[in-house]
Amino acid sequence: MRKPGTDPLDVQMTDVLCDFCHREWSEAVPMIEGHHGSCLCARCLSTAYASVVHAGLDDGGGRAGCRMCLETREDPAWRSPLDPEALVCLRCLKLAARALEKDPDSGWRRPEASAS
């Protein structure tokens, strides 16, 4: 998402907010862009990935649209703790994880499954 009042012709990094934690985009935390300017930061991606992929949790798949792909899918999804409207589906999490891992600048690695 973008901060209210952002000049669409001159978008700065700090005008771009993660849709899920509302953090500003910075060099330290890479962001993945979805449709219509929605964004998912690497930290939320790690949390969501661990929750949906490793823990098998589902916060609303099939019942609400995914913020990133704008589709209502049967896939499990992760819900933002800050914004109950903000969901990201499993497919988008996998795509985002693959894209971030490929980006040598991101330094991001998907979370390991816990040994328990």
Using CB under 5 A, list all residues that contact Zn ion: 18, 20-21, 41, 44, 66, 68-69, 89, 92
Identify which of residues 71 and 101 has a Cβ nearer to Zn ion in the complex: 71
Amino acid at position 92, single letter: C
Closest separation between CB of residue 6 and Zn ion, Å? 18
The Cβ-side half-sphere exposure at 35, using a 13 Å CA radius, reads: 9
Identify which of residues 10 and 101 has a Cβ nearer to Zn ion in the complex: 101
How many CB atoms within 10 Å of residue 1? Answer: 18
Closest separation between CB of residue 7 and Zn ion, Å? 23
Helix (H) or strand (E) holding 92: helix 90-102
Identify which of residues 42 and 104 has a Cβ nearer to Zn ion in the complex: 42
Residue 45 · residue 93 · CB < 8 Å? yes
Closest separation between CB of residue 108 and Zn ion, Å? 13
